[in-house]
Every structure is written in structure tokens, then in C-alpha cells.
A and B are shown apart, each in its own frame.
Chain A
Amino acid sequence: MNAERRIWGQLRDDPAGLAGLVVVGLFLLVAMAVWLGLIGQDWSAADGARWETPGPDHWFGTNILGQDIFERAIYSVRTAFEIGLVVAVSSTLLGALLGALAGWYSHSWVDGAILWLKGVLDSIPFYLFVAAVAFALQGKGWAMHVAMIATFWTTTGRLVRAEVMKLKTREFVLAARTIGLPDALILGRHVLPNTIHILLVQASIAFVAAIKTEVILSFLGLGVQDGVSWGLMLAESTQEVLAGHFSNFLAASLMLFALLMGFNLLADALQDAFDPKQASQ
């Protein structure tokens, strides 16, 4: 009943998890402030000289075009959260839906079709797939989202399928059938809610993976098209680092590192707190 209170209680006694919570919380606040237009709006204005060193006007200095690196790094927080959340939520929901259908109708043609699709997607090299999707979508900014969602759901799908196959022989699911509930209602209300522990873990994995993948894709020129991201900043910095200018590189990689580190600490702590074996104690 007091699941929230119990999870909070466990988190409070876990300094690493608490640190993760604080870091992720700060990043989230920054992302929301950018989203609301409060900060980070001048990321594209070239209002400085080329490669200015950090100072009161430009805290992290400027890049080759004279753009403020602090503004760009801050705006990239929003980009990261947007990609992380969209991909995590969509791929987890898709995996839950397809996995539940495959598990519920296991060994039927529905299951066969979903497993076939999963097999195909899993066997295509990821970056080739993204490039193909990006090409097919003519360089649209969301090609990257589509490619990640289309490939990230498969792990969730496999785990949910196995769990649903277990759940559907459980007595409370049989009981739901004996009171005459239709399949869709049983799946939606009694089966899927009992896979929530899998979904939460998978969503947090997808969140981290999406942010990391965005950096690599943007670095390769397959990612963010209009806007700025840590990946684009790192791509810029390859020229600059050779010339001895480290601001872009340090700002982007340190913020990326801090966010992912914080999120991993938080996710680990939450996973412990959600562990059903501990919940029954």
C-alpha cells in the first residue's frame, strides 16, 4: 500500500542513489527551464569572436563560429531528455504491447509474426539500419527516433513475452477468465500491470541507450538535424581539439558523463527498491 513511502525510505538510506537523484533532478530542471524558454535560448547566436576563452561574457568560451558553448551545452540537456524520454517511453510501450500479444497468443501465427519481426530487426546492424531509416526519411530529424524505437523494443518484447507466458497460467488470470472478462481487458488490467517491474527497468535502460546513441549518431551526422546536442558539439570539437581548444569537448563530454552517471546510480537504487523479493520483507 505504501509502496511510494517504502521506495523513498530505501532511497534515503542509499547515498549513491540519492546523489543520482540529485544529479538527474538538476538536469531535469535545466531541461524544463530550456523547454519553457527561460535559459539556453541563445545557443545559435554567433555573438562572440571565434574561440574565445572562458570568461564572464561566455562562461565556457565560444566555438569556431563564435557561438556561446555554455548556451549550447545547456540547450543540449533538453535535446538529450527529449530523445531519451521519447525513445524510452515509445520503445517500452511498443515492446510491452507486442511482447504481451506474442506471449498471450504464444505458438500461434500472431506470436510467429512478432518473433519473425524481432528476429529481422535484431539481425540488421544497428548503424546501417539508422542510416537506412535516415535515408528513407530524407534526413528528417526524427529518423533517429524511429530507428531507435524500432530496434530498442525487441529486448522488452522478449522479456514481456516470457513473463506473460508465465502469467497466463497463473490462477488470477484463469480466475479473471472464469468471471467472463474479455482477453483485451485481462491483458490490459491483470497481465501487463504485473510486468511493470520489467517495463521500468527496460525504460531506464532505453533512456540511457538513447542518449548515448544520439551522441554517436549526431557525431556521425545521422542524428540531430536542427538544434544542437552534445553529439554535435563533440563532432565540432574534433577540429578544435587539434588546434588546442578544449571547451566544446569538455563541456559536452562532462555533461554527458554526469547525466548518465547520475541516471545509472538512480536506476540501480530504484531497481533494488522495486525488487519484489525485498518488497515482501
Chain B
Amino acid sequence: MNSPVDELGIGLICFPGMETAVQSLSGHIDLVEIEPQTSWFTESPESDSFRFDPQFAATLIAMPQPKVFHGVGFPIGSTLLPPKSHFETLNAHIDAVKPIYTSEHLSFNRYCNTEGSVHQTNFLLPPLQNQKGVETAVRAIHHYKQQTGKPFAFETGVNYLRCRPDEMEDGEFIARIAEESDAYILLDLHNLLANQLNGRQPVNDLLQQLPAERIIEIHLAGGSWYQDYYLDAHSGVSSPELLALTDTIVRDLPCLKSIVFEVLPDYFGQGFTESDLRRQLEAMKKIWDHRNATAAHRRRYERIKSRRPVDNSLIPEVWEFALGNIANSGSNEDIPLQHELLQDPGVAIIRNLIFEFRASMLVSGLKMTCRLVKLQMGTQRFHQLLKDYCATHESEIFGYASALRFAKFLEEQQLNIPYLQGMLDFELSAAQTYIDGKIRTLHLSFDPFLLLDNLVHWQNPPPQLSSTIQYQVEIHPDAPITDKDALLRFNAVAHM
């Protein structure tokens, strides 16, 4: 049995870069939730070993709130279990930060093709919803719990696909997995509302099918519309609709321990402010005060089993390959399941989002290099270059590995762009220094500050920038600096 978890209260997911916001709103935050892998690194695309960032871990340890881990990158809806090294790093991270429990997503993001090679989708995809899908998740959860020894909750996922007529209903699928694996449920109400708005099971019907006593955590977020789909974008405050829905739901949840807000740090400075965050946390506190308010005999959610017939002939490996391959822009119309999935308009949405995920990783991992290439090629050709890259190169879930792979691709293109090699060396060296803390010295034939200044202002660097002078550029990990220092500071992790 999962060990019991104490009541925690209102929480916020803290990404690297959100430390200041968490500290300044500390009085509104009872727990800090961390997606541990967002501060992990791999040394190369080929590497299966990971390291967590000790500085960020130290910051988290210093925060007075209890911590909870919310895993990303290794979801439990998959037939492919994470590598051993994942749990080694996760356990080291757990030892350091001491989260009360861990959670992961009821999704998959890797698949094995017919030749037996494993591919990454860089996107959380919905698992096969039948009894074999249930068994797959149960196996992965047992493995996760056994490897970490921590209480475990799985998160209800977002699903942009249409309902299939012979699949298990969303609520029944979640309920069976929770019961058969003896896991807690992390009810992501924003995901479930997105599913409802996109035509899947209404949230209230879904909740009727759940074992309410297993729901220990709620996730809230904000989203946005994109081509008739409501996206789980984590782009701002929760809608009044979601807050009202949550307020009615928590009253009937007897074992709720926390309500946690998710927003991406990228939206700070893009219209989302600290006072928005404060208002969101205050609204959540009011909702929290209504938890378990309904008398036991009047509670609405009592695990009503679904009677819908389910086709159990399909196996998860086939589903993962079909959907994974399609998501990665493959298509084999001869395979009936792939043919069926290709008729689903949600597939085009998933493909677009995956392209933007991958392109975002590249343009932020090698930001100034990409800007230089765009300035020298034009937007259209640059976008085509990104599309060509994504069509021919494997996806990576780690930013640094992704940057390395793309750097190699750019070198192979022989683009004949001035300063390109120097800029690539500069950005990759800075990334390496961020990861390993070692000082690096680069020798460039141009003044990197002048080049950066041009790129920052979206100006094509003039040819005369090139010089016979060798510039020695030392890159070191940050130290406290004063205004007098002639130093360029920049941050290796996406920040507000």
C-alpha cells in the first residue's frame, strides 16, 4: 500500500528560473513541486546517463516548504521502462531534495519500431485505453514505486485524439490503473477540462468513475485555443470556468492533500506577471478551504464502473508504434490503425506542436547561432532548414543533447555564413561550462560582443566586423559580479 501522505495545501511548480517568484510569494505557497528532469543534463545525444544541477537542488533545499517531485520525460503509460540510470539519478536527486512523494504522467513518449529501435516523440501521447493498456501502466507504476520506494501518484493526461468507439472510457481507464497498481491519482483538472472541451469525456462524468479517495493532488493551469483545440499550454492563470469547476469538485474529495499551479517560466515577461501568480494562488487558497466539505453520505463521487464494451484485442506495443510513428510525421496507410489515426484531426495538432517543441529547443539551445542563420538566410529558408532537420534527425528530450545534434547538422550543411562556426563554438562551450562548471577559453577571430550586440538587435553583422585580432574569450561559471565588471552574464537555463 502507498504510505499515507499528510495534508500539504497550495503549491506551485518551480522550474529553474522561478526561484525568485517562489521566494517572494513564499507566504502563499505551502509546498514546492519540482519537475526534476528539467534540471538534469545529458552529456551527449548517445548518453543514457544523467546529472542533476546541484545549484538548483541547493536552492530548493533551502526553501522552507515541503517538496514533491513530478517526473517528466519518463511517463508510466509506456511499455518501455526507463533506463536504470534514470532511477539512479532520480534517487540521488530524491536523497538530496527529499520530496514527500513522486508522480509521473499516464502517457508515453517513446516507441519501438518494427526493427526494434526506440524513438522519442518529445510529446506526451495518450496510451492505449483497454485492459492491456491498464496492465502496461500498472507494470510501469510497480516498477517506479519499487525503484524509488516513495509513495506514487500518476497524473491524468491530456488527449487531443477523438474517442475511439471500442476504447475504455477515460474515467474507467484511470480508475482501474489506480486500483490495480494501488497508486494515488494526481487529478490534472486543466488536462481533463481540455479533454472535455476537445470532445472527450465530460469532467463530471469522468469523476463519477474514479475512486475519489485516491485523489491526493489537483493540478491547475491556464491554456489557450489553437485551431479549434483547447491546449494544455500552461500559459497563464486558470479560467474562471476551471476555478469554478475545481471549487465544486474539491468539496467531494475526502483525501485531497494539495492543489498545485503549473505555469511555464517562458510566460513571465510575456504578459504573465507576479501579481497574476499571486491572484491565482489566492483563488486556489479559497478553493482549498472548501476541500472535503461535503458530508460523507452526500458525496457525489462513488466509483461507478463503466459498462461500455471494450476491444481488448489491440496490444499497447502496436498502439505506441502506430501513434508514435504518426506523431513523428511518419505514416503507413496500409496499417489499419495508422490509417484510422490519420483520419483524426487531432493528429495534425500533435504534429504541429511537436515541431514547435523541437524548434523551440533548438532556437533556445543555440539562440544566437539560430538568429545569425535566420538573419543570413531569411525566415522562410531558416524554417525550412528546421523542418528538414526535424524530418531527418531523431528527437531529443534534453536540451543540450538537442543543441549538440543540431550543431553537427549545421556544420554539415556548409552554409557559408560568416561567424557561424565561432558562434556555434561559443554557445556550445557556454552550455558545457554551465553543465560541468569548468572554465573554458575560446579563441575567436571576431569580437563576440559586437556580434552579439548585432544579433541582440536583430541586425545582420557587417562584414568588416571580421578582424585579424584573435579574441580570447573566457567562459566561466557565474560568480557574484559588480557593475564595474566588464562581464557578460547570461543564463544557461530559460528564465523570466
Q: Do A and B bind each other?
A: no
